[in-house]
Structure 1
Amino acid sequence: MIRFVDRAAFAAALAELPALDAGAAAAAAERQRVLTKPAGSLGRLEEIALFMAGWQRRERPRAERIRAAIFAGNHGVAARGVSAFPAEVTAQMVANFRHGGAAINALAQACGAELAVVALDLERPTGDICAEAAMSEADCLSAINAGAAAAEEGLDLLLPGEMGIANSTPAAALCAQAFGGAAAHWVGRGTGVDGEGLARKADAVSLALALHGAHCADAFETLRRLGGREIAALAGAVLAARMLRVPVMLDGFIGCAAVAPLAKDNPAIVDHCMAAHMSAEAGHERLLAALALEPLLRLDMRLGEGSGAAVAAQ
Structure 2
Amino acid sequence: MSTAAPIHVPLPDATAEHQARRRLDELVKPVGSLGRLEELAAWLCGAHGTVPPRPLDDVRVVVFAGDHGVSRTAPGSPGVSAYPREITAAMVRVFCAGTSGVTVLAREVGARVRVLDVAVDAELDDVPREVVARKVRRGSGSVDVEDALAPGEAERAFSVGRAVADEEIDAGACVLVPGDMGIGNSTVAAALTGASLGLPAREVVGTGTGVDEPGRAHKVAVVDRALRRAGDRVGDPFDRLTALGSACAAATAGFLVQAAVRSTPVVLDGVFSVAAALVARDIAPGAARWWLAGHASTEPAQRLGLASLGLEPILDLRLRLGEGSGAVQAVPVLRAARAVLAGMSTLAEAT
TM-score by structure 2 length?
A: 0.82
Q: 1:27 to 1:268 in 2, by over 3 A?
A: same
Q: Please state whether the residue corresponding to 1:126 is helix, strand or coil.
A: coil
For 1:67, give the aligned amino acid: R
Partner of 1:51: 43
TM-superposition CA deviations, 1:145-168 (whole Å, max 9, x none)? 222233225532111110010011
Q: Which of 146, 150, 155 does residue 164 from structure 2 map onto?
A: 150
Q: Please state whether the residue corresponding to 2:32 is helix, strand or coil.
A: coil
What is the root-mean-square deviation of aligned Cα atoms in Å? 1.9
C-alpha distance in structure 1 between counterparts of 2:160 and 2:92, whole Å: 16
Mean Cα displacement is larger for which, 196-205 or 157-166?
A: 196-205
Partner of 1:27: 19
Alignment of 1:191-202 (within 5 A): 191-202=209-220
Q: Which of 115, 118, 121 does residue 116 from structure 2 map onto?
A: 118
C-alpha distance in structure 1 between counterparts of 2:287 and 2:236, whole Å: 14
Shift of 1:264: 4.8
| Residue 138 of structure 2 corresponds to residue 138 of structure 1 | no
C-alpha distance in structure 2 between counterparts of 1:267 and 1:37, whole Å: 37
Q: Which of 272, 277, 282 does residue 254 from structure 1 map onto?
A: 272
C-alpha distance in structure 2 between counterparts of 1:313 and 1:276, whole Å: 8
Shift of 1:26: 2.9
Q: Which of 57, 60, 66 does residue 67 from structure 1 map onto?
A: 60
Q: Is the 8 A contact 1:65 1:156 kept in 2?
A: yes
C-alpha distance in structure 1 between counterparts of 2:163 and 2:40, whole Å: 26
C-alpha distance in structure 1 between counterparts of 2:119 and 2:279, whole Å: 23
Alignment of 1:250-289 (within 5 A): 250-264=268-282, 268-289=286-307
Shift of 1:266: 6.0
C-alpha distance in structure 1 between counterparts of 2:29 and 2:15, whole Å: 23
Q: 1:227 to 1:272 in 2, by over 3 A?
A: same
Q: Please state whether the residue corresponding to 1:37 is helix, strand or coil.
A: coil
Partner of 2:6: 12
The percentage of aligned residue pairs carrying the same residue is 40
Partner of 1:210: 228
Structure number, greater radius of gyration: 2
Q: Is the 8 A contact 1:179 1:264 kept in 2?
A: no
TM-superposition CA deviations, 1:32-63 (whole Å, max 9, x none)? 34432222121111111111111122222120
Q: Is the 8 A contact 2:59 2:175 kept in 1?
A: yes
Shift of 1:21: 1.4
Q: Please state whether the residue corresponding to 2:80 is helix, strand or coil.
A: coil
Shift of 1:121: 3.0
C-alpha distance in structure 2 between counterparts of 1:254 and 1:106, whole Å: 20
C-alpha distance in structure 2 between counterparts of 1:111 and 1:245, whole Å: 22
Q: Is the 8 A contact 1:168 1:254 kept in 2?
A: yes
Shift of 1:130: 1.3
C-alpha distance in structure 2 between counterparts of 1:7 and 1:266, whole Å: 13
Partner of 1:3: none
C-alpha distance in structure 2 between counterparts of 1:49 and 1:32, whole Å: 9
Q: Is the 8 A contact 1:279 1:301 kept in 2?
A: yes
Partner of 1:101: 99
Gaps of 5+ in 1: 1-5
C-alpha distance in structure 2 between counterparts of 1:12 and 1:213, whole Å: 25
Q: Please state whether the residue corresponding to 2:152 is helix, strand or coil.
A: helix
TM-superposition CA deviations, 1:108-143 (whole Å, max 9, x none)? 111211111111131211011112211123322222
TM-score by structure 1 length?
A: 0.91
Q: Is the 8 A contact 1:167 1:228 kept in 2?
A: no
Number of residue-to-residue matches in the alignment: 306
Shift of 1:257: 0.9
Mean Cα displacement is larger for which, 61-70 or 241-250?
A: 61-70
